[in-house]
Structure 1
Amino acid sequence: MARASTVDGMTTALIVIDVQQGFYDPAQPPRNNPDFEANLTTLLDAWAGPIVLVRHDSAKPESPLRPGQPGNDFLPVLDGVRSELMFTKQVNSAFHGSVDLHRWLRERGIHDLVLAGIQTNWCVETTARVGGNLGYDVTVAIDATFTFDAQGPDGETLTADQLAAATAVNLHAGGFARIARTKELV
């Protein structure tokens, strides 16, 4: 179960997941959290520890996140960010990418993670769950994430706000991660 520890820049890494142009495609369903960009900027500007940038390189031919497409590029909010590590992935979890993130973190004595990025209920949540399973103390900066409305198998649509709330409840109740707001972390 994740501890409600304070953020220590020496042993805590900020992992920024899939902050890419493709999520701004007009074909995307409605999203939540219009303050995402401002909150992520605040977090990045205040961060003293290691920063890890993760980019989703989709293998799907129709995806805007496919390498070589403008949608694969990072958003301007990451311009000038000095990361200690940048790597790609093709699945939801940042722990299953082109770099062995678990080994990289352990070699540096990093035990605590703060997660931010896109999408709250997919790649951020999956990374939080895997990180919690691997023994990291994970905090999700919930207001430095966003997601989109999504339709279930029965045709019912949940709003992005409902999905983000469900993610927060799942991660907290399941002991995978602590849920925090940017102002609590800076």
Structure 2
Amino acid sequence: MRIVIDKLAVLNPLAKLPDEETATRAARAGAVGSWLTAVGSVFGAAMIFLRFETYVGEMRKQILANAAQQDPAVTQAMLNAIGPTTAWATIIFTLVLGLVYLWLGFVQWRRLTRMIPLLMLLLSAYGLLSTLLAYASNKAATNLTSPAQMTVSMAMLAVAVLCFIAGLRGGFRLHALRKAG
């Protein structure tokens, strides 16, 4: 148990990274965060697939909810465009992103870079903040996600953000140690 706690200590953004081993462990936490994000992408794609008709129906409801502010021809064109093809495109795009996150995780694990955790931190922070703002302003598509699903998703994203911060710190520390030695 003590070994696990010692390894998780690198997720503390205020913890020191005194040596190369600790910095390496922190940099590899960025890879774990990327893999968590990949799992979240696959989970999201699976939820769309399992609730396919509901997803398409909710997208159409959103278009109809905004119809009062639009030209009826525009609304009809948008309704015609939203269908199974759009949902399948969303699923495929989400799975491709999951594969990219998986690949970035493997690259980070081997190369221990600074840029991958930085990029992933920025993207994850944006995703976390935009989701929280959407819920705060009641603009989120709450019918598409259950509260339990959103809670799990936000928890995974928060842990991934901690992993990316650790990965970024570890990458910078390794760079400084290599430059000094």
Taking structure 2 as the reference length, the TM-score comes to: 0.26
Taking structure 1 as the reference length, the TM-score comes to: 0.26
Greater strand fraction, Structure 1 or Structure 2: 1
Larger radius of gyration: 2
Q: Which has the higher contact order (CA 8 A, sep 6+)?
A: 2
Greater helix fraction, Structure 1 or Structure 2: 2
